[in-house]
Amino acid sequence: MSRQSAVHVLAGSLNLLGLALGHWVSPWWLLLSAFVGVNLLQSGLTGFCLSETIFAKLGLKDGSCQSRVDANG
């Protein structure tokens, strides 16, 4: 899995988790989904993504999601 794919999986998982917890536990958990959205927005505008930096330090290789699709298809 590439770093970009890992970032997408993390963001999607945290977003769904925030929505589920907001529905079943407390509406305050919707702030988690809002935080994920704001983080994705700032990452797109500035090019800085903290989770991608962390995944790089964990040893995930760099690569785009498209290169994975091309290799499999």
Q: In the chain, how many domains are there? A: 1
Which pLDDT value is given to residue 69?
Answer: 55
Distance between CA 32 and CA 17 in Å, rounded?
8
Per-residue pLDDT reduced to its tens digit, 19-69 = 999 999 999 999 999 999 999 999 999 999 999 999 999 999 887 666 555
Assign 70 a pLDDT band (cuts: 50, 70, 90). Answer: low
Full domain range(s) for residue 23: 3-72
Which pLDDT value is given to residue 63?
Answer: 77
Q: Which amino acid is at 26?
A: S
Dihedral sign for Cα atoms in the order 11, 41, 58, 65: positive
Per the document, the length of the chain is: 73
Which residues, in sequence order, are CB contacts of 65 under 8 Å at separation 6+? 2, 4, 5, 8
